[in-house]
Amino acid sequence: MSQYTTPVSTMFEMQRTALEGSQQAMKQGVSLQKSAGRMALSGMKTGKHLQQQGVEATHTATAQYLDAVEPAMPDETVETLRETTDEGFAQLTEVHAETFDQLLHSFEQGLDDYDEFSAEYLDALDEGFDQLADSHEALQEQTVEVIEETESRNEAYAEQFEAQLEGQMDRIEEFQDRLESQSERQLEQAEEFQNQLESQVEEFQDQLESQAEAFEDQVSA
């Protein structure tokens, strides 16, 4: 390589390394988002189980309280309280299960949709980066060829060489701008889906808190 082609080739290699690094970073970002979603789903299922245990524990404690006060109260009164309590907790258990099942189903559907999107996104990402890499390599070869051909001529062609080199550098800058724009668009799409996933988690948590408060109010009543 000559004094002109060496720095140009080095620059192309640096751009190609940055391109590959960006591609890997995007893939890792998608993978981390999918893992976070599955972990959140697992936590929701654990929360469902814990709240079910809480409702059952409260039911048991109420039944034990009625057992303790039964000798001091009329039989009919205690029996009525038992029936009312059992019916109330049965309804709470049913509502609790239905609510959680609906929320979990909705969240799982969202994760499945994200998995489908991410698979399509990664395929498009690979295809886009492959095209960019091919264009980048072709541009490098063409640039180096122009430099070598022009450089081999005598000094009378110096101005023409400078003009051609400047034109090639302009194309390089345009390519880099295209690469940055595409990377930004892809990152924005990934961030948008991540925000949607986080919003779903927050909404789910709010609904769980509302349900928990409703359970406590009904039990207290």
> Whole-number mean pLDDT of the chain?
74
Report domain extents, the chain: 26-44+94-220
Provide the 10 A C-beta neighbour count for residue 82: 15
Q: Using the 8-state DSSP alphabet, how is residue 1 labeled?
A: -
pLDDT band of residue 175 (cuts 50, 70, 90) is low
Residues 165/147, Cβ–Cβ less than 8 Å: yes
**pLDDT single digits (tens) 121-162:** 788 878 877 877 787 788 778 777 776 776 666 555 556 666
Full DSSP string of 94-155: HHHHHHHHHHHHHHHHHHHHHHHHHHHHHHHHHHHHHHHHHHHHHHHHHHHHHHHHHHTS-G
pTM as predicted: 0.54
CB-based contacts of 88: which residues, under 8 Å, 6+ apart? 218, 219
pLDDT digits (tens, 9 = 90+) for 84-125: 888 888 888 888 788 788 888 888 888 888 888 888 878 887
Tell how many helices (H) and how many strands (E) occur in the chain: 3, 0
C-alpha closest to that of 136 among 98, 172, 89, 97: 172
For the segment 41-46, the average pLDDT, to the nearest whole number, is 81
